Amino acid sequence: MLTENDNQPAAWFRIVSLTALIWNSLGAGQFLAKITMTNDMIAKLPQVAQDALAAEPLWYTAAFGVAVFAGVAGSLCLLLKKRLALTLLLTSLVAVLAQQYYVFGISGIGHTLVGANMLMTLAIPAVAVLLILIARVANKRGWLL
């Protein structure tokens, strides 16, 4: 008979789960900073940034929120060894892909990004995919309940 301690996750899994929670929490902080910007704060941005913000559709901002908060919840579920992590992380990825579609497909802003901005824009979906793969491995190994 298996006890709770018979199938404990590897140490790397806890480290990755905690790192994922921090990563997604930083994204949630960025989202909250964005949606709470005052008109005065926006006015201090370069004109190109002001124009980009003004042009963003509501669904893009909603996708941003879903991506980060589903990511936070999914990462927390990973840390707590809950199978719900898979669904939440997949939800986060779908929202991230919606954002990427806007950035690279609709607005064209993605084609103007360089350096660290481009790196971060590409890292976000890569991390989202990686977290789903890790959650799948954890589930197959019986680490998620």
Q: Which contiguous run of DSSP H or E holds residue 128?
A: helix 115-140
Q: What's the mean pLDDT in 57-75?
A: 99
Q: Give me the phi and psi of 125, to 5 degrees please.
A: -70, -30
pTM for the full model? Answer: 0.91
Q: What's the mean pLDDT in 32-45?
A: 97
CB atoms within 10 A of CB 118: 13
Q: Per mean pLDDT, which range of 70-84, 110-124, 126-140 is the poorest?
A: 110-124
Q: What is the pLDDT of residues 17-28, one digit of tens each?
A: 999 999 999 999
**Does residue 15 have a pLDDT over 70?**
yes
Q: What is the pLDDT of residues 113-130, one digit of tens each?
A: 999 999 999 999 999 999
Q: Can you give the pLDDT at residue 2? A: 41
Helices 115-140 and 84-100 pack at an angle, to 10 degrees, of: 160
